[in-house]
Structures are given as C-alpha cells and as structure tokens.
Amino acid sequence: MSAEALLQAIDHVAIAVKNLSASVAAYQKLLGAEVVHEEVVEDQGVREVLLKAGGSFIQLLHPLGPETTVGKFLAKRGEGLHHVGYRVRSVEQAIAQAKAAGMRLIDEAPRRGSRGTRIAFVHPSALGGTLIELVEEGTHG
C-alpha cells in the first residue's frame, strides 16, 4: 500500500483540559461548536468530549486521575494540544507501515478507542514532537 493511500483525514485534534465543562462551554460559546459525543475510555484514563468540526472532531480530554497519561501531561505541561488523530483505512496496515519506516510505536497492536474506533499511538519522538494517534473508524460509526 502506498503512503498517500494511508491517511484519510484528520480525525481529531485533542486538547488536554483541566475543567471539562468550562472548556466545552467555551468552545460552544466562542466557536459555536456542537457536542456530538461524550465517553469515558477507561483503557486510556480519560473522559472525552467530541465537538464537531466539519468531518473532523475537536477532542477535549480530561484525566480520570493524576497518574493517567493526560493527568501527568497536565501537571507537567499544563493545558494544550495533546495529540493529533489521523484517520486511516486500516490501523493494522498503518502500524505495519510505521514499523517498516522505523518509527517508534507506543502500540504495536490496535487498542479500543471511543466510538468503537480502533487506535494505535506513535511516539512523539517519531514525528517532530507531536504525539500521533492512528484511528480506524468502527463499523457502528
């Protein structure tokens, strides 16, 4: 598979926030963004709210506790951009391609994300200091 066929779209831009309801209210008020989903993903230690941005999402992330990845990120770096999610056709294929390219992967096998998605993270050191999430849409939307 060629590299250009891999990335379908930006699935989401994820922002770590300290106060989820205040941030949701700010996005609604300032950008008129509509909340389309809210979910606790225990596996990732987060509660997330998705706001619609065309065919993509803004993913507001709030940690389930201080020892989670997002909890530690907030303590160390404060609020801000946490990762970018790229939509791919097949997360297995994307993992294999990233691995073949010598990239440092956080997940070598797909995990379960919100909305029934299948996801895998690529370490920020692989792509210019930005944490990347590969996202394959679930069959149930």
Spot the catalytic one: 62, 82, 83, 136.
83
Note whether 73 binds ligand CMX by CB under 6 A: yes
| 28 catalytic per annotation | no
Cβ distance to ligand CMX smaller for residue 33 or 47: 47
Q: To the nearest whole angstrom, how small is the minimum distance from the Cβ of residue 77 to Co ion?
A: 17
Site for ligand CMX contains 46 (CB under 6 A):
yes
CA–CA dist 6, 33 (Å, integer): 28
14 near ligand CMX (CB under 6 A): yes
Q: Positive or negative, the Cα torsion across 58, 63, 68, 70?
A: positive
List the helix and strand counts (H, then E) for the chain: 3, 8
> Which candidate in 44, 59, 82, 136 is catalytic?
59
* Token pair belonging to 99: 């691995």
User: Does residue number 133 form part of the binding site for Co ion (CB under 5 A)?
Assistant: yes
| Kind plus residue range of the DSSP H or E element containing 120 | strand 118-122
User: What is the side-by-side order of every strand in the sheet holding 132-136?
Assistant: 35-41, 46-53, 56-63, 7-16, 80-88, 132-136, 118-122, 111-112
- H-helix or E-strand containing 25? helix 20-31
- Per rule CB under 6 A, is residue 57 in the interface with ligand CMX? no
Site for ligand CMX in 78-117 (CB under 6 A): 82-83, 106, 113-114
Rounded least distance, CB 37 to Co ion, Å: 12
Binding positions for ligand CMX, rule: CB under 6 A: 14, 41, 44, 46, 61, 69-70, 72-73, 76, 82-83, 106, 113-114, 121, 123-124, 129-131, 133
